[in-house]
Amino acid sequence: MSALAELQPESKPQVDKDWWRGAVIYQIYPRSYQDTNGDGIGDLPGITRRLPYIASLGVDAIWVSPFFTSPMRDFGYDVSDYCDVDPMFGTLADFDAMIAESHRLGLKVMIDLVLSHTSNDHPWFQDSSSSREADKADWYVWADPKPDGTPPNNWLSIFGGSAWEWDPGRLQYYLHNFLRTQPDLNFHCPAVQDALLDVARFWLERGCDGFRLDTVNFYVHDKQLRDNPPLAVEERNDTTAPAVNPYNYQNHLFDKTQPENLQFLERLRAVMDEYGATTSVGEVGEGQRGFEVQAEYTEGDHRLHMCYGFDFLAPDKPSSHKVVAVLDRFNTEAPGSWACWAFSNHDVMRHASRWSLDEGMLRALTVLQLCLRGSVCLYQGEELGLPEADVAYEDLQDPYGIQFWPEFKGRDGCRTPIVWEAAMPHGGFSDAAPWLPVDPRHLPLAVDRQEDDPGSMLHHYRRTIAFRRAHRVLQKGEVEGMTDNGSVLTFVRRDGDSAIFCAFNLGPEMAEVQMPEGTWRATAAELGAIAPDEGMTRLPAGTFCLAQSA
């Protein structure tokens, strides 16, 4: 080797720090993905075993719901050790193996950080509740009762009842926005923030590529503990909590979404930026001003990368008018933000059932989601077209469903095991009886059945994701002229000289759509797209037209 060659730096592949813009992220609920040790509960080795399948979908990243040490009263969203794997899911070595195999297959790995609260079994809370003089006495939100012994204010828990729980040891109440066994951390305490940033570093050091941040706007509470004002009846909505929950009766001005939270998000972003091409997506539970909060949380390049709300996780089907209204509101209230759109996740009824979709409309909405400007989160089983599972009351595990049954049946129906092989016991998920029963209606939709059918929903998802990846304009481009004309939604995605015209008939009747000026050629026939006619194109119910600029 010449002396000159020795002086040349090694060429390294270019790292795309913006890989998350337009990415398709596949959410995995570990308990229900694949069991490998025969205990009826999915685990990290099960995820690793199925990574080739996930990579075959064409997605960019996986988001893994909590697998940390936990008493599992809220199935991992009640953490008792942030820096270890619960034995039911495996070990830290299993996590490392999952990371290594994901990266080998070209998949990024995002994990679900639950920073707003811990389990009451966490050593931090055990210390904090032991005494008002304990080392961590102020690590949680404690408050004295009113003179009559009642809670310090009117804040409500999303899981029902008061957000305050009496502790007889400290003779004080502690705050819990969720279960009473999930005490809220006190982000006004600098040591709490420092400890949580160390948690983020721990997982970034192990190769994690980013975080999904659970209940990101719940981190900080009003120091003065002011009462929330009532919410006018006409302003109530069920996007954050089900309609039967009195949580919807308040305007949550003081129990969440406080301005001090921005400072913590900036500190978290600074830590993440030390590790290169990482990303963050925050879950914003805010029924009144969600996009305004998303704008604040993603402002510039020093807070979160992106957020998602509940606009398309709501009960009402996305009509053309609703889609335009949501996107217009997003563009008006959060013009500099990058959205992340989800139709289903582990907290809501699967959208195939929630919106009562036939197969044609389900396919059309899949294409619509992957044509929207922003990133996309897909929930496990969505690619199989799974309906919501029917879970009997005696089989319920979710405390939320048990609390509000039968008006609200909880989240178990979207959390049942993935079906891999139709003829195998429990759909090939486990050799043992699973923690939630497999719905018999899911078995004909098992992966092995759909793999053998080129026209299946699984292959439709693969083709749609591949189409998005093949057209940069759908990943990174702008959106122009979004309009609703009756039941038809139209818009153009544009990136430089490249453009794709999109039209979706989201109504029950035949409709006509006026093609925009210019020369357009048919595309996406493999997705079932209707070819454009000159001038006017006819779209049957639940169909769509995609056309490329010539």
Active site residues per annotation = 214, 274
SS3 category, 196: helix
- For residue 182 the two structure tokens come to 């999930």
Residue with token string 């960019």: 60
Cβ contact 351:368 at 8 Å: no
What's the rounded Cα separation, in Å, for the pair 310 and 331?
16
Q: Which segments within 108-214 are labelled E, that is strand?
A: 108-113, 142-143, 164-167, 172-175, 210-213
Nearest alpha carbon to residue 479 among 495, 497, 503: 495
- Structural contact between residues 161 and 404, judged by C-beta atoms closer than 8 angstroms: no
Per DSSP, helices labelled H in 206-346 are: 261-273, 290-297, 320-333
Cis peptide before 147 (omega within 30 of 0): no
The DSSP secondary-structure symbol of 530 reads: P
Q: How many CA atoms lie within 13 A of 139 on its CB side?
A: 26
Q: Are 163 and 177 in contact (CB under 8 A)?
A: yes
E strand or H helix at 68, and its extent?
strand 68-69
Tokens of 127: 């210390």
